Structure 1
């Protein structure tokens, strides 16, 4: 199974009565999302499920991709890696999942899947981590397929 984790692009700082969920992308964030979306559109396998947090900034990020997506409360800021992995169907789902979400959840999920000593990996705004589960000699392994940032595309 492929699990593609995409952190939302750069967002505005909260102002006044604005809630965290209402934060929108900055102009730079719009550009980051567009660059990454163009790359992802060429790379994503057919049938990839696209799942996103209901936060404005994640929905704006995923809209740049131009594909159907589903909002999931389980991906809100503060979600747990367990919630994310269950929603994705890791590691046994038949189709790849693209998750658009937040730190620290994405970094915690990556750390867990890669067996890192630290319990949180830093994920840059707008970046994608593409992980794959495979079986070798009867053991499930997590492989890093690629890590991409919008600035390098």
Structure 2
């Protein structure tokens, strides 16, 4: 199973938290990362794309695919377990899931999967963590950080 944790792109301040739209910079970030993700996922049949109820999360997701799920459990302030539940991690073996969410949850979930501990990992707005779950021949499970990417690198 592959899980891509994508932080929403740069958003405006000063309005209701869930209603914050992307800034012009955020639109550029979302477009860049979405284009990169489309190239990576072009041979993947049927990945799931999930966004929170926040306008900035949905606006980021729509640049990858206008058809996405909205899950209120991913809203700012949620528990980290909600991210794994939304992804059905690790039950959906062989599936690709992209979650467009928020800090600090994204970094904490990424660190939990990679290190086994919830650490204060951060990523830039519009950045991703791509984590792959692999089952070895002897049955052991490994979590591999396949990519960590910032829009600035594209």
**TM-score, normalised by the number of residues in structure 2:** 0.92
Structure 1 residue 60 displacement after superposition: 0.7
In the alignment of these two chains, the number of paired residues is: 150
**In structure 2, how many angstroms separate the alpha carbons of the residues matched to 1:64 and 1:109?**
23
Q: What does residue range 5-84 of structure 1 map to in structure 2 within 5 Å?
A: 5-14=5-14, 18-44=15-41, 45-84=44-83
Q: CA separation of 1:93/1:117 partners in 2, compared to 1, >3 Å: closer, same or farther?
A: closer
Dislocated runs of 4+, deviation >3 Å: none
Structure 2 unaligned spans of 5+: none
Q: Any conservation in 1 of the 2:31–2:63 contact (CA below 8 Å)? A: yes
CA RMSD of aligned residues (A): 1.3
Structure 1 residue 117 displacement after superposition: 5.2
Structure 1 unaligned spans of 5+: none
**TM-score, normalised by the number of residues in structure 1:** 0.92
Equivalence for 1:141: 142
